[in-house]
Structure 1
Amino acid sequence: MGSAWPAAEIVVAAQGGDEAAVAALVSGAHPHVRRFAFALCATSQDAEDAAQDAMIVLFRKIGTLRATAALASWMFRIVRNECLRRVREMASGSEQFVDMPTSSAEDDVLVRLEVERVAAAISALPADQRRVLIMRDVQGLPGSFVARATGLSTAAMKSRLHRARAAVRSQLRVPADGNLE
């Protein structure tokens, strides 16, 4: 899956203000953050912008990260929130929808490898399926909005969403009923 996240020693040094460590952390985290963004955002332009914004947050706020092991989870949440913000901006005025949940508590930190597995499975989808899946399941947008935004009928959007979910489930080897038994 490519290079590993920066080592804990680099994260600790960056948290302490070591400029060389901050530079190493930003450059080491960038490929992972970019992969998250391309898996989570609806468009490639939003993904590029979200990844860049997340790297700025990392650079400015690394000292606020409480647990070095939470770096991947923290960056994932920053990217996710950037993608959601961009969708909200796009959707404002066109349809009202319930506020989507923001970040989870630090206790339930996402397991780094699992996040990357899911991101890779979503990234492997054809672009039309990926966009529908991200907008509906990741960003939580209403189906009617997703259909309009993608120029599809509701039935066509649902069909693409079903195929995308099945492909991701197959890639992750999770049975259709969601049970891991």
Structure 2
Amino acid sequence: MTQHDSRFDAALLDAACKGDREAIIALLKVAQPDIRRYAKVSCKLQDVDDAVQESLWLVYNRIGTLRAVTSFAGWLFAIVRRECMRLMRKVFIKTDDISEFNDDPGLTYSHQLELRQDLSRAIQSLPEHYREVVLLRDIEELSVNDIALLLNLTREAVKARLHRARMMVREYLLD
């Protein structure tokens, strides 16, 4: 989906932003394939359907908060990305037993189970705003610019949170 995509003409987006229910529904129907494509790139395979459903619901409820019609594609992508992160965090937060991650190729870089458990607990112990930045940067490997855009923060704020979060993880692991 690009800004020149005729499926998302300015009139449809403008009407949806102003609360026109029919325009919102039409916009969601047209946007759903893009949402699914974004989710396939950003989420684990088993989370794609949940991410699509939640993203559609969020767009439906928050379309009125869109600041500029031309930023719809980026806004949509940010919603899907954030929903995928929420689903991923849910696994980290609710899991005390790290053994279910043994088959995940993204987490098999360390052969030391204790280190992975300690690191997982350290990340879980972070306040949510620090944990989110660490997960986005160090697990999802997003750039500072992407994180800033996604979380609606400045680059400096992202760097500061990331630095503080890493220091807190380091302190946790040293204790």
Question: What CA distance in whole angstroms lies between the structure 1 residues aligned with 2:153 and 2:20?
Answer: 24
Which of 94, 100, 103 aligns to 2:132? It is 100
CA deviations over 1:4-51 (Å, ceiling 9, x no partner): 3511210101111112211111111111011000111012x3111101
Q: Which residue number in structure 2 is paired with residue 7 of structure 1?
A: 9
Structure 1 letter corresponding to 2:16 = A
Q: Where do 5+ consecutive residues of structure 1 fail to align? A: 109-181
Aligned sequence identity (%) = 34
Identify the structure with the greater helix proportion. 2
CA distance in 2, matches of 1:104, 1:8: 25
Q: Which runs of 4+ in 1 moved over 6 A?
A: none
Paired AA for residue 80 in structure 1: R
Task: Name the counterpart of 1:85.
Answer: 86
**Offset, 1:60:** 1.0
The one-letter amino acid of 2:53's match is Q
- Find the counterpart in structure 1 of residue 18 from structure 2: 16
Superposed displacement of residue 99, structure 1: 1.4
Which stretches in structure 2 are left out of the alignment for 5+ residues? Answer: 97-119, 124-129, 134-146, 156-175
Cα offset, 1:100, TM superposition: 2.9
Structure 1, residues 66-111: CA drift from partner, whole Å, max 9, x if none? 1111111111111111111111111124423261336243999xxx
Gap change, CA 1:107 and 1:29, over 3 Å in 2: farther
Relative to structure 1, the CA distance from residue 79 to residue 14 in structure 2 (aligned partners, 3 Å threshold; closer, same or farther) is same
Q: Measure the CA separation in 2 of the matches of 1:13 and 1:79.
A: 22
Q: Could you tell me which residue of structure 2 aligns to residue 153 of structure 1?
A: none
- State the structure with more CA Rg: 2
Q: 2:31 aligns with which of 29, 32, 40?
A: 29
1:122 alignment partner in structure 2: none
Instruction: Give, in angstroms, the shift of residue 58 of structure 1.
Output: 0.8
Correspondence for 1:55? 56
The 1:106–1:11 alpha-carbon spacing in structure 2 relative to 1, beyond 3 Å, is: farther
2:66 corresponds to 1:65: yes
Alpha-carbon distance between aligned partners in 2 of 1:9 and 1:50, rounded to the nearest angstrom: 27
With CA pairs under 8 Å and 6+ residues apart, which has the higher RCO, 1 or 2? 1
One-letter identity of the residue aligned with 1:18: D
* C-alpha spacing 1:56/1:73, structure 2 compared with 1 (3 Å): same
Q: State the superposition RMSD in angstroms.
A: 2.7
Alpha-carbon distance change, 16 to 106 in structure 1, aligned in 2, over 3 angstroms: farther
Give the TM-score normalised by structure 1.
Answer: 0.52
Higher mean Cα deviation, 89-98 or 46-55?
89-98
